[in-house]
Amino acid sequence: MHEVAANTVMHAAQVVERCLTELRGPAHVMASMPALRSESGAVRAQVAGVAIRVIAGRRRFRVVLGDDRPRHPIERARAYVLMSLAEAGHPLPRDARDLPSAGVIESRLHAIADADERFAVTHSIPDWLVLPLREAFPDDVDAVLRALDQVAPRTLRANALRVGSRAQLLERLASEGVQAEPARYASTAVHVSDTSDLFQTAAFRDGCFEQQDEASQLAILATAPPKGGKVLDLCCGSGGKTLGLASLLGNRGVILASDVHEARVRELRQRLPRTGAHNVQPLHADDSGPAQASLEQFARHADRILIDAPCSGTGSWRRRPEARWNIDAAGLLAMQQTQQELLLRAAEWLRPGARLVYATCSLLPSENERQVEWLCEQRPELEQVRLVEVLGGDVARPICDATGTWLSVRPDQQGCDGFFLAVLRRRRS
């Protein structure tokens, strides 16, 4: 591999230093750094990739540097950047020769006496997550964690409200010099293989695509709203899946997109004009009587209630490496309680024949299968709808569990974010 340019190392170190001191992720930090805007798309992509790998591996880097660790924040950040580049096989500049060698790194890791702690440091995860991840993936936890350390692909969703098909989006991108190819699993997804500045393209300005992981696009397809149907997106965030549903519905029907966070609903409102979505009704679901009454009235007549639930985010670490440090065991328990409250609330509203779609970007069964099983025990009028019935066997089998029931994808197998989805239906009698 070639040696990484000095300015790339400098920018990456600045990003990492701010991530560590401000406790923010690389994406947020880079968005607030004007100096990076003058760099090429290739440089920005490389800086982002390095910063993501450093924040993901920061626990390992901190331990293996040991007493050699620089004390000044920017020097320490640069040392982490250089170690990350060395792990990736890049030659290092001469002033980095005093970093620990591969042999020293290995010896420092092996010196950790406790096997669980050594595993956690090696994979740079919190101690409390070792047992849940090993239980979830008893045979291939190392492969899962290695995949989560990689940089995620740049994936786009073709917006059918602005461009006729995925093939037409690929043509638009190619006409602007963007190299892209169809994704394997989601019929709307496109992987970009170069470092083009996508947000400066005419295709973006015209609303032809949204940047969205393939797993999230699969969740949109699995929601499968009927033509002209009513969909409640109960935890819409800034509207990624809402906009996908609007595209899937072809602006027919109506989508009520609600969230408790006003800023996220505001961001969704701002995104609507470019995408051409006219069937979306954003709602800030505060505690006021009118907002809650509107939410319940719509929900009781909806064909689909989608809960893209708040979760640990373990499946999206490639895009948000800081997320592995933002929750602890107590926080996970609180998150699971919130998930159950959302599920019970939606189940209460669900009309006979309508579907409840529960999704997370978590890899932990305690947030996924166990929650669905718990809900079915609490509400026996609910029945599970198998994914093979929703999407068809040919589409569903490569992305579902062995029984064909749940959407279940992993970065080490399907190459997209870790994601779970279950579909439930209220019996008609």
Block residue for tokens 């932990």? 364
Q: pLDDT by residue (tens digit) across 18-77?
A: 999 998 999 999 989 988 888 888 889 999 999 999 999 999 999 988 766 677 889 899
**pLDDT score of 233:** 98
Rounded distance, CA 180 to CA 2, Å? 24
Partners of 408 in the β-ladder: 420
Domain segments of the chain: what residues?
6-124, 154-211, 214-426
CA-to-CA distance for 171 and 91, rounded, in angstroms? 38
Q: Which fold has domain 214-426?
A: Rossmann fold (3.40.50)
User: Quick one: pLDDT at residue 120?
Assistant: 97
Q: Which CATH number fits domain 6-124: 1.10.940, 3.30.70, 1.10.3470, 1.10.760?
A: 1.10.940
The highest-level CATH class for domain 154-211 is alpha beta
Q: For all residues of the chain together, what is the average pLDDT?
A: 94
Distance (Å, whole) CA 315 – CA 174: 31
- Do the domains 214-426 and 154-211 match in fold? no
Longest dimension (CA), the chain: 74
Global pTM? 0.95
- pLDDT tens digits, one per residue of 187-198: 999 999 998 889
State mean pLDDT over 343-356.
98
How far is the C-alpha of 63 from the C-alpha of 363, rounded, in Å?
26
Give percent of the chain above pLDDT 90: 83
Summarised one tens digit per residue, pLDDT across range 387-410 is 999 999 999 999 999 999 999 999
Average pLDDT on 238-263 reads 97
- At 1 the pLDDT is 61
Of 56-70, 208-222, 296-310, 333-347, minimum mean pLDDT range: 56-70
In this structure, what are the phi and psi dihedrals at residue 309, rounded to the nearest 5 degrees?
Answer: -70, 145
φ, ψ of residue 236 in degrees (nearest 5): -75, -20
pLDDT tens for 82-140 read 989 888 888 878 777 678 888 888 899 999 999 999 999 999 999 999 999 999 999 99
Which pLDDT does position 318 carry in this prediction? Answer: 95
Helix, strand, coil in percent for the chain, rounding step 5: 50, 15, 35
What average pLDDT does the segment 302-310 reach? 98
